[in-house]
Structure 1
Amino acid sequence: MKSKRHTPEQVRKKIAEGDKMLNDGATISEVARSFGVTETTWYRWKSTYAALKGTKVKLTH
């Protein structure tokens, strides 16, 4: 089965949505499951993309 690649813009949107879910009381595993990724992927996305803003995301990839 081929894995799906997310664009940096998609990842930023999912991080924002996931952070909102976490603030509403969801767990990390629930957030990761809702996006179809592992917890490890969620943490990697957070460390890579969370600090980047819109134009930086487009320039880095």
Structure 2
Amino acid sequence: MRLLRLPDAIKKTGDTPGFPVHCPQLTAVTTARRSGHRAIPTLTHGTDIPVSHRNIPDIRKAGLLPA
């Protein structure tokens, strides 16, 4: 196993679609939905997890979350 700082790990993913949803989680997201003020992305293996408020703009900018 190799330990990296999260920003370095994100850089190494290249063109792999994914977003940091909570520090230190980096996930591959297929879709996302709103639940009140929360954004809930669905991961590639089908699990839903909440995204931190700070990272919602990135999910929206990628077109996964309606405005």
TM-score (norm 2): 0.34
**Bigger RCO of structures 1 and 2 (CA < 8 A, at least 6 apart):** 1
More helix by share: 1
> Which is strand-richer, 1 or 2?
2
